[in-house]
Structure formats: structure tokens, C-alpha cells
Structure 1
Amino acid sequence: MPDGESTATERQLPVFEQRVVRARVVDAPAGDTFAAIRRIDFMRSPVIAAPNLARMAFDAVRAPRRREVRAHRSIRLGNLIGPQGGFEVVAEEPGRELVLGFVGRWWEPGYGRVDWDPGAPLSSIAIPECGVGTWSFTVLPYDAQTCVLLTEIRVHGTDEKARRLFRRYWTTVGPFVRAMARPTLSMIAAEARR
């Protein structure tokens, strides 16, 4: 980023307790790479599918009446946005940056989703005992046929209880979240090269 310019992720959630950042060079134009973000099927990677299917099964055991668990054959970004997926687009600069937001109590069944206003900056959300998170993708052109693709996850607890509960939850899921970032970038890169 040029000096003095902040990312949409930074503007949405400048304070956080957990962060995962991964990057890779993609041998494809920036526009093709940005478009590929919405086309990949996350379930094609066992590293991504296995922990997510395990979480759905775990939720079904913990709260069988609250949420129906379905074995998804395909999950694309569009499936994750809106009431069913829980994420909302909170910022987008087409061709360059996409930031998704999520507010909930991840340590509860169904990720403890709560209603929130996706039009407000995530940093302003003060719903008690919640985690506020961003998941972003940034594409930086290098030359006409090459770019750098970044993904970043940030999480902030709205109060001390949320931070304590999320730290405990992150001890278990953090390694899986970190492991999923690289296959996500690899799938986007492969899709962009097609």
C-alpha cells in the first residue's frame, strides 16, 4: 500500500486480538485473480472441508434442533454471504479488495450468529460477549500478468468475557484456520490461471 493509505480491513477493524495473514504470487492478471475469489469451491480442499464438516457435525450434536446439518458438496463465497452463511460484505473495491464481516459467538452452536448492521464499521459494534471478525482478500498488481494475492483474518472481542471465551475457542480452531489460508490462496491462483 502507498504510504499513508490504509486497507479497508484496517478501516473496518483496526483493533484485534487474533490475526492470520497469508500471501502468494499469482501468475495471472489482477482482474482474473480477483474474479476467481468468488468462483472457487472451498469444499474441494480436504484441508478446508474436513474441519468445516466436523464443526457442522459437532453443532448438530450440541444443538440438534437449532440448525440442520447438511453435507455441502460445494461452497463458494456467495454461499457464505447473507443469513445462511453469516458473513456480510462490509467493504469492496472491485478488482482490488473484498472484506467480509462476521459478528457472533463462535464458541456456541451455529457460531452464535447475531443480528448486526453491515453498514456500520465493524469497529463500532459493541454487542456484549461477541466476536467481531473480518476475512479479506486483496489483489495487488505486479505487472500485466502477475499479482500478489493476500488473505487476512482479524478477530476482536467486544468485551473481556468475549475475548476470554474466544481465546479458549481459538486454542482449538486457530491451527485449522491458519492451515486453511494457504489452500484457499492456491485454489484462487489455480482458478485465475484457467
Structure 2
Amino acid sequence: MSTLADRFVPHPHFATAHAAVIPAPAEAVWAAIQEFDRTGGFKNVRAVRALVAVRRTLGRLRNRGGSHDDMPALSVPLAEDPPREVVHGIVGQWWTMGGAANRTDVVSAEAFLAFDEPNHAKAVFALRLTESPDGRSTRVVTETRVVCTDPAARRAMGRYWLLIRPFSGLTRRLMLGELRKRATA
């Protein structure tokens, strides 16, 4: 089955997925996702704030006190099919740990697809919902896919991926827990 994420990163260099079954109909989970985004999402999850603070500190140490980004989450909405799937994207050089900001000039799905400057990576974050036949629960899958624009970026991202993958997974599991709480409240 083809997904919206396939349109943007069909053949990722790096990918991870996490899933949970939430005891609520897809419409309730979709509403929880919208609320999560509207209320600042991860900014209000204490453990995620701590992980971002660690990353920020590592970036400052690595860059001798200076950091060009404060880990902005400037993701761009790329596509959605309510209440089944939503995809956001971001372009950057995250392996620089604050040495280079996310690309704020990539502001549309078309710009994301067209971006091909060397030494960058493009990432999509997708949420897919599948309601149970009885409509009483919804399987939610979070998927992160990353594609690099050249071999040098792929090597750098590979090293970074080894470091951040467990923490990225933790943030996704925390998000799924937050969605469960909101959808079943």
C-alpha cells in the first residue's frame, strides 16, 4: 500500500517506525494530533524538552559556545489525508549539532521535493492511522524517513543517526503516549 510519505521520500537512507494501538476511533485520534500540533506538541513534553536541552548543550560545546540554531522544529506540512495520514518535512544538516540551521527557505511540498543542494538531508515525519473494523481502536504508526543529497551527507548523517536514533525513538513513543492520553480523555 502506497503512503503519502512515499511521495516525498520513497527510498530513505535512514528510517524508523513506531506503532501503538489507541483505544479510540480514528476521528478522536486525529483530533488529538491536531490539538497536539496546536498546543506546541513536543515543547510541552518534559522528557523531550530535556533531550532538546542536551542536544543544544552538545551543539554549544562542539561549536565553542556558539550555535547557529536552537533546534528549531521548522517542519513544513507536506501532505495530509484526514483522518488517515499527515506528513511533515524538514531539510537540514543536523549532524553539525547546531553548526548550521535548518533550511527555512523550504516552505512547501514542491520546494521540499525539488531541494537537492549538496551536504544536506531531507526528512519526513509521517503519522498514519488505521481504524479497527469495529471503530473502537486505531493503530497509529509514526515513521521517520531521511534521504541525503550526496554521499558526504549520507556518511555524516549515518554517524549522527547512530547517536540520535534511540532518542528519536523515545520522542516518538512519548508522542504516542501523549496522543493516547488526549484521544481517550
State TM-score, norm by structure 2.
0.84
Stretch deviating more after TM superposition (56-65 or 101-110): 56-65
Structure 1 gap ranges (5+): 70-79
After TM superposition, list the pairs within 5 Å mapping 1:1-150 onto structure 2: 5-40=1-36, 41-61=41-61, 62=63, 64=66, 66-67=68-69, 85-108=73-96, 109=98, 112-114=101-103, 115-120=105-110, 122-142=112-132, 143-150=134-141
Output one character per residue of 1:58-97: Cα deviation in whole Å (capped at 9) or x when no partner.
3344253634x5xxxxxxxxxx9xxx53200011112111
3-state SS of paired residue (1:90): strand
Q: How many residues align?
A: 176
Q: Which amino acid aligns with 1:66?
A: H
- In structure 1, how many angstroms separate the alpha carbons of the residues matched to 2:79 and 2:92? 19
d(CA) in 2 for partners of 1:153, 1:52: 18
Please give the secondary structure, in 2, of the residue aligned with 1:24. Answer: strand
Q: Is the 8 A contact 1:12 1:121 kept in 2?
A: no
The Cα of 1:170 is off from its aligned counterpart by 1.1
Match of 1:75 in 2: none
Determine if contact 2:59/2:99 at 8 Å carries over to the other structure. yes
Query: What SS does the corresponding residue of 2:165 show, helix, strand or coil?
Result: helix
Aligned pair in 2 of structure 1 residues 116, 24: CA closer, same or farther (>3 Å)?
same
Check the 8 A contact 1:101/1:118 in 2, yes or no.
Answer: no
CA–CA separation in structure 2 for the residues paired with 1:180 and 1:116: 24
SS at match of 2:87: strand
Instruction: Give secondary structure in 1 for the equivalent of 2:95.
Output: coil
Unaligned runs of 5+ in 2: none
Please tell me whether the aligned partners of residues 67 and 99 of structure 2 are also in contact (alpha carbons under 8 angstroms): no
- Please state how far the C-alpha of 1:105 moved relative to its aligned partner: 0.5
Query: Tell me, what secondary structure is at the counterpart of 1:178?
Result: helix
Aligned identity (percent) is 27
Counterparts of 1:39 and 1:85, CA distance in 2 = 17
